[in-house]
Every structure is written in structure tokens, then in C-alpha cells.
Structure 1
Amino acid sequence: MGLRTVEEYRAGLRDGRRVFVEGRRVEDVTADPMLAITVGHSAEVFALAARPELRDLFVFHDPDLGEPASAYFRIPRTAAELRARGDLIEENTRQQRSTFNITKAVGTDALLALLVVAAEVDRELGPRYLDRVRRYRDACTRRDVTMALAQTDVKGDRGLRPSQQVDPDLYVRVVRRTADGIVVRGAKAHTTAGPVVDELIVIPTRALGEEDREYAVAFATPLNAPGLTMICRPIVTEAASTFDHPVSRRNIEIESLTVFEDVFVPWERVFLCGEWQFAGRLATTFATFHRYTAVSYKPPLGELFCGAAALAAEYHGLERAGTIRGKIARLAMYPALIRAARLTAASECRFAEGIAVPNGVYSNAGKFYFASQFHDAVALLQDVAGGLVITGPTEADLRHPEAGPLLEKYLAGAKGVSGRQRLALMHLIRDLTASDFGGYNLVVTLHGEGSMDAQLLGAYREADLEGHKALVRRAIEP
């Protein structure tokens, strides 16, 4: 089938999937006044791939299929190809008002992890999964699909293991095996873009013990599978003004609670089933790839913060003030250091099953840095911008024949900056940092791709501690 168009992507979503938002059943996600915004955001990955000036970054010739394909599906075999994957994710984000488009990134992160771990399972336990993963990956590439990932179980009592829960369905589990496949039950939280993609990949959220073997399951399913339900968080609707909500009205992701009520999965789509000893390995391998994706998509938002602060300083006539310059300099460092972590994670990669795997120390360090410093970056931007970020009137007021001229007069800035220009910038900063969307950005930066403690654990696990200790021993030798 090759590369799809925006229209083909949209048509593929009209498949009877079961989606709820704000207490109502959504019959067509492409026409819903809320979900249509996310559909439009997700569709841009296809529009960008069709632009001639971006084609070399977004499209590659797949040697396995013998045809052009989305570069998201390229299996990185070298450090240069891994860097190119990061370049793709970063530019895709920059082109979409610095908002991450997850619909091809997270699924291919999962496919790369599955290719690595399936080979390890087959080598230790005998052939069973690698050919399935390869065939599934080739089919997804050929169909040019969008994908979501469901990893985080709802967990219930987090002090108990999956098999110890009062309700056994609080982690996704296999409830029945048949000659044709498996039947799964449970729920996953925080499924980004699930309602607006073609395929859903499910993997374990943690390491498991033998008593948890029924929870050691990885598989793929279409989103209209019988028994699959998605219940979404609310976002802005198409009625919102793009002046008042310049980013979130056009570029925003959606999350859902994804419920599996005895969903059937055919064997060819099952990639782990009972091999409990590999559940943790799959979870952490995916995290390594996905945190590399994180340090690839975050720099453009940091650039947007820095640019907004610099423009606010000009509008206020304060661009020469030393204290303001210092704040802007700190904002400039934020994306620079994240990008440095990404580039180093690629150049210092390791190889597993012939695949270039990001250096876990640098990808975890980069993710920890951008999560731990994000609130400070927000504060710096808000400090430079001032209180008008939260007190500014709306576009409707600007359009009013009586109120509009007053706003133009009294909100005018330095050097001929109009009240409208100044208010537009304040609304951008409010949308990013002080709105519902701004609050979302604060929390998702902390918890997306795993918590900061998870990054510390990942960095600890991959650090060369023995080498560091040897250095100390040499230093203290008599």
C-alpha cells in the first residue's frame, strides 16, 4: 500500500471503535468536536511526509519491502541511523507547534523493543515470537499505520504484585488460551492517542514473578476489537479560539483509560504469553527507546519557551536588561542540554540483535534533566512575560467595537507593538503554561516516559559503576 494520505488515515478511523468522552459515546472520532482536534494533530504526520522539503527526513526506502515507507519504521542499524530517528522526531515536533505527535513514534519504539526481546526469548526458549514480530512490523510498515502503546496497568494496590490483587483484572492478563489465540482482560491507563490510531500494542508495565505468569503478555490489536473500550480525558473543542488557544486548539494529544473485556487476540499478534522472566526486560528495553524519543521531542518546546521569553522582553522594552537576559540565557540552555543528551545517546549507542539501542545513561539523564527542570523553565518564562499571561482579555474582546480599541491603546507595547500582538503572545504563553493544557504539560513532563525515579533507576542500572570504582581504587593506591 505504501505511504498513506491524510484522507486515507482519517477514513481508517471510521471503524466503529468504542470511545467515550465527557459522558457520551463518540460515533465518529473524525467528526467529534473534541476528538477531531487530535485527529487533525495526528494527521499532520502524513501531511509532513508529503512535503518535498521534508521527504528525505520523513521517508526512506525499506529494503525489506522494496518500496518507500515512513522513516519511523526504519530499523536503526548504525549510530547515524539512530541519530536520524531523533532528528525525525525533533523536526516532526517542531513542525507541529512544538507538540509531540506520538502516533508513529511510540509504536515503533515498541516494535524495536519487541524485535530485541523476541530474539532473546527465542534464543533461550526456542523459536516462537521473532518471526511474528517481524511479520507484524512489515505489515504495519506496508500499511503505513499509526500506533498507540498501552503499558501502564491501573495497578490497584501498588504494594501488591499483580497476582496478589483483590481484583485480578487490575493488571492486564490472559484469561483463556484457544487454538486460535488468547483472550485478555484488564485495563491500561494513560494510553496516549489510542482513540485516533490504527493499531494498539500492549506490553507489560514491570518485572514479574513466576506467580504472575498470566500477566506476562504482549500483543497487538486493532482499536475496533470487540470488548475494547476507551474512555478519554476532555480537551478543548473546535469552538475554542485559535487566538486564545494557539497551540492546544490545533495541536494536542488525547489520553484514555483502555479497557479489555475478554478481547480476543489471534496468535500471530501475540508476542509474549506467560514468559514471565522476560516481562521486565521488555518493559525496560521499551523504556530505553522511548526515553530517547523523549529527549528528541522536547527541545522544540524549550525553543518555543526561549523564543516567547525573548519576544516578551522586546514587547516590554526590556531586552537589554541584564536580569532578563540571564533568564533568557537559562531558557536557551534548557533545549541545548536536552539535545546534547540525545545526540550523545545516539553516538554512544550499543547494539542488540543488530539494532542500534540508545545509550541508557544519556537518554535517562536527558529525560531526568528535562523533567526536573521543566517547572523552573515555566517559571522563568512566566517571570519574563508578566501577569498579563493570566489577566489578559480574549479575542472576542478585541473584536468588540467598544472594547477592542481600548485594548489596542492600553495594551500596546514598546516600539510600536500593538495591543493585539502583545495579547497574542500572552495567550501563547498562557496556553503553554497556565491553562488546562499548561497544567497537562507540567504533569506529563514529570510522568511521561516514566517517573523521575524510573529514570534514576535506569541510569543506575546502566552506569559503569565497576569502572568508576576501579578509578577510585587506583586513585587511593599507596
Structure 2
Amino acid sequence: MPIKTGKQYIDSLRDGRRLFIDGKVVTDVTGYPPLQGIIGTIAGLHDDQHDPALHGLLAYKSPTTGEPVSTTYLEARTREEFAALAGCFHLRAKRTFGLMGRLTDFMSAFLVDQAVALKALGKNEAAARAQGMVELCRENDFEVTHALIDPQSDRSTLDAPSQAVQVVERTAEGVVVSGCRMLSTLAPVANECYVGPYYPRKPGEDRFVLAFVVPMNAPGLSILCRESFHRGQAAFDRPLSSRFDEGDAILMFDRVLVPHERMIIDGDLEAYNGMLASRPGYTPIQATIRSTMKLRFLAGMATAIARANGRDKLPRFQAAIGELIALVSVADGIRAGAVEEGLRRAEAFARGETRIGGDGLTEPKVAGVCGGAAINFFFPYANTKAADVLRIAAGSGVLAMSGADYANPEIGPLMDKWLVGPGIDARRRLELMKLAWDMTGSEFGSRAGLYERLYSGDPEINAQRWFRSGITRECEQLVHELLET
């Protein structure tokens, strides 16, 4: 099936999956009220692909069927293709204001990265299976989530815990797995789930060395969701919760059969640990574009709020918001760098190389992953900073009454008279304050703050990885060069 319509996406969710959410067991997510907002948002993105004005940006001709498929799966190799891929990511992030950290775009890029990396590593059989999963998801226009992290059984060690997803049996049909994985954002409304590496495994952990894709209705798979953040409040009062609550889940695999063609890696430690370090970098491009869009949205919200209460005239707030705008400019540069770096890596892969770098004279010998570094450190800082500025700009104004109160004929006219701002009426001012509350003070906003801090995993472990990089040694060498001259 080529690109789906919104209705086709909604129909695809009626698959008998088992969702444990809010104390209920839900087998038809399309009929569960708290999920209607996010389902509608994703359905709208599917419909965008059929909009004649957007189709050329969001879809391209499938290399296998010739049918239109999502551009998020484009394996870009040329500058023009990288521009098309980044443009698609940008538009979809703009349509969701950067608020959906795990749009299926992330996994589209991740799956393509994985297939290319395995091929570059010479893992041809695994690469073929990975490419098969790319084509399965691309040709069916699936929404794909992931579960990359082991359960928090003992965070004092990176050893695979006994509760992690592992092989329990091998059959003629495939591999039977049991165990737990987290944290699967988008799981309640996705079609497929990828389970694979984020942190490396160690020798002797072969039964945990797995990468595979399964449908969300796989027999034996239970989706244990966190509580819903949208509980029927009007969109006026919860403008973000009502549209962008992706949902997060822990996935329980109780003897789930993974067919051989869906099992990308089974026990190959070199492939498992190597593929994340050898990818061309489509995933960091998507992640930086999404994160930049959210930073733009937060900076814009802080500006609108400051204008609504007159704080935009105060030097203190001009400086605070000005710093956010400067961070947006830095983020735009990171985005451009991630795209350029992706192009360099794609060109290197075409030459049979898995690394890029310089000559040590005109540019550094060791090249990092600027997009990866940015999502590890820059964007958690920048988006947290932006949310803090928004809180200060709004002040106690976010502790506002509801839209129903404004509609009350007894009190509404008084609000129109007294609860106004410079050049702004009471209704729009109230809308802005409810938006600011949903972004910073509601359950949705609190989760968003935590999510940005931990978007790419444990920041301490990420920092230790960077310490072990070749860049560290190259920086240190500068000191010794000075001392030796």
C-alpha cells in the first residue's frame, strides 16, 4: 500500500492490540477518548501527504514499487536528496510544532541508518533483513515506535538485566522472546515496534543481543501505558495535551514469536554494537530539525506572552528572549551542519569507508557527530532554558480560569473589561496563558521537560562516551604540541 490517508491510518489501528491504560484494557484505541487527539493529529499528517501543495515535499517514488511513499524513508545520497529529506522533516516538525519527539519520522531515519550501517560493516545478511524492514514499513506507510532501553532493574550497572528482552526458544518459524523493554513513546498509536540497541552489550550476553521489528498486535505483547494526560478538557484549556500527547509505554514480551525475516540481529555482538557508530546520520538530522522547531516554538511563545503582558518593553525580558533567539540561530547552524555531515558520510559510504575526518592541518582528523552531540547536550539545555524563560515571562498569569468561565455570561464581560493586555483582548490573552500553562505546568508540560532532558538517554553515560572519543585525544594533543615547541 502506498501513502495512507488519515482514515486508512485510523482503520489500521483496529488490530486487536492489548493496551493497559488508565486502569482499563483497551483493544480498540480508536474508540478510547483520551487518544483521539493524538490519533487525529497523526491522521492529519497522513492526509498532508495527499495534499497537492505538499505531496512533492512529503512523498517520493518508491524505489521498489514506483508508488508514492513517505520521504522520511529516503536514503539520501546527493546534496539534492539531503535537502529533500531535511525539507520533509522540517515541514512535518512544523506541522506538529516540534512537540512530538517520536514522530514516526525518527524511526524512518533510524531504520534506514541501521540498514546502511550494517551493509557498511559487511553484515550483509543482517543488512538485507534490515532493508526488508525498511521496505515493509515504507511500503505500508506504518507508524513505527521503538523500545531501546532495558527495564530499570539496577541502574548501577550497564549489564543486561535478567528482565530484559531475550531469546527463550528457537523454532522453525522464528525466535521466541520474553522480557521487558522501555520506554516506547508513540506505542499506543503505532503500527510496528522496533527493538534494538541503544547501549552496547557485552560478551556473554548473546541471548540479549537482538534487533527486530514486531507489530503492536503481536500475540504475547502487552502495552503497559502511562496514564493519559488528556482527560476530556476542552482544547481551549489544554491546547497541547489535547493534540500532542504521544503516550509512553513499557512493552511486555511474553513468549512473542519473531519471524526470522523480522529478526535483524540475533547474537551478533559486532553488528549489534557497531551499527550505531557506523550509520550515515539520517537520525541526527531528523532529531536536530525537530528539536530546533520546538526551540523556535518555545521562543515564539515566550515572545507572545511577554507582549501580552507588556514585559516585552523591559530590558530584562528583551535580553532573556534575545538569548533564546540567539540559541535558535545556533540551532539552525547545527541543523545545517548535521545535513552537511550526513552528506559527507554518505559519500564516504559510497567509497566503501565508514569514517569521515580531516588531514589534521586544515581541519581536525577526527570528526564527531554534530547532530548527536547537539541532541545529547545543546538541545536539552536550550529547550529547558526556553521553557524557563516562558515561565518567568508568564508569571502567575498562567494560573488562569477556564474557557468555560470566560463563556459564562455573568463573568465573561468583566474579564473582557479587566483581564486584558497591551493591544490584546481578554480572550486571546487567556488563550495564551492556557497555552503557556499546558507547556510548562500541566502533566503534559512536566513530561515534556523531563523528555527533553533525557531525549537521548542518560546524560552522564552520553558524556562518558564523548570522553572516550578520538576528539578528546586530539584536543589534548594540542597541549603537548605547545609544550614541545
Does TM, scored on the shorter chain, surpass 0.5?
A: yes
Identify the residue that residue 407 of structure 1 maps to in structure 2: 415
CA distance in 1, matches of 2:447, 2:274: 30
Identify the residue that residue 68 of structure 1 maps to in structure 2: 68
Contact kept? 1:189, 1:256, Cα under 8 Å: yes
- Structure 1 residue 430: deviation in Å? 0.8
Match of 2:193 among 200, 215, 227: 200
Identify the residue that residue 443 of structure 1 maps to in structure 2: 450
Match of 2:145 among 142, 145, 148: 148
Say if 1:456 and 1:65 are closer, same or farther in 2 by CA, change over 3 A: farther
SS in 2 for 1:402: coil
SS in 1 for 2:245: coil
SS in 1 for 2:242: coil
Structure 2 counterparts to residues 220-231 of structure 1, below 5 A: 220-231=213-224
Identify the residue that residue 362 of structure 2 maps to in structure 1: none
CA distance in 2, matches of 1:101, 1:345: 18
Contact kept? 2:229, 2:245, Cα under 8 Å: no
- Structure 1 residue 369: deviation in Å? 1.0
Identify the residue that residue 385 of structure 1 maps to in structure 2: 394
Say if 1:189 and 1:29 are closer, same or farther in 2 by CA, change over 3 A: same
CA distance in 2, matches of 1:445, 1:399: 35
Structure 2 counterparts to residues 54-453 of structure 1, below 5 A: 54-100=54-100, 102-119=102-119, 123=122, 127-160=124-157, 162=159, 165=161, 168=162, 170-237=163-230, 239-284=232-277, 289-349=282-342, 350-351=345-346, 353-354=349-350, 360-367=368-375, 368-389=377-398, 391-415=399-423, 417-453=424-460
- Structure 1 residue 277: deviation in Å? 3.1
> TM-score, normalised on structure 2?
0.89
- Structure 1 residue 89: deviation in Å? 2.1
> TM-score, normalised on structure 1?
0.91
Say if 1:287 and 1:398 are closer, same or farther in 2 by CA, change over 3 A: farther
SS in 2 for 1:187: strand
Contact kept? 2:4, 2:47, Cα under 8 Å: no
Identify the residue that residue 47 of structure 1 maps to in structure 2: 47
Range moving further from structure 2, 446-455 or 146-155? 446-455
- Structure 1 residue 252: deviation in Å? 2.2
- Structure 1 residue 149: deviation in Å? 1.0
Contact kept? 1:37, 1:251, Cα under 8 Å: yes
CA distance in 2, matches of 1:50, 1:443: 35
- Structure 1 residue 272: deviation in Å? 0.5
- Structure 1 residue 245: deviation in Å? 0.9
1:412 corresponds to which letter in structure 2?
V
CA distance in 1, matches of 2:100, 2:355: 21
Contact kept? 1:364, 1:456, Cα under 8 Å: no
Say if 1:360 and 1:149 are closer, same or farther in 2 by CA, change over 3 A: farther
CA distance in 2, matches of 1:357, 1:325: 44
Percent identity over paired residues? 27
Say if 1:425 and 1:103 are closer, same or farther in 2 by CA, change over 3 A: closer
2:89 corresponds to which letter in structure 1?
I
Structure 2: tracts of 5 or more residues without a match: 357-366
Deviations 1:292-328 (A, max 9, x none): 3221101222222222222223222343322221111
CA distance in 1, matches of 2:388, 2:408: 32
Identify the residue that residue 31 of structure 1 maps to in structure 2: 31
SS in 2 for 1:30: helix
2:228 corresponds to which letter in structure 1?
I
Deviations 1:340-369 (A, max 9, x none): 212112213323644999974311332211
Contact kept? 1:174, 1:215, Cα under 8 Å: yes
- Report how many aligned residue pairs link the two structures: 469
Contact kept? 1:117, 1:278, Cα under 8 Å: no
SS in 2 for 1:229: strand
Contact kept? 2:302, 2:390, Cα under 8 Å: yes
Contact kept? 1:19, 1:231, Cα under 8 Å: yes
Range moving further from structure 2, 237-246 or 311-320? 311-320
Structure 1: tracts of 5 or more residues without a match: none
CA distance in 1, matches of 2:280, 2:164: 19
CA distance in 1, matches of 2:470, 2:237: 46
Range moving further from structure 2, 318-327 or 96-105? 96-105
2:219 corresponds to which letter in structure 1?
P
CA distance in 2, matches of 1:287, 1:215: 25
CA distance in 1, matches of 2:393, 2:153: 43
SS in 2 for 1:427: helix
Find runs of 4+ consecutive structure 1 residues off by over 6 angstroms: 355-359
Contact kept? 2:292, 2:328, Cα under 8 Å: yes
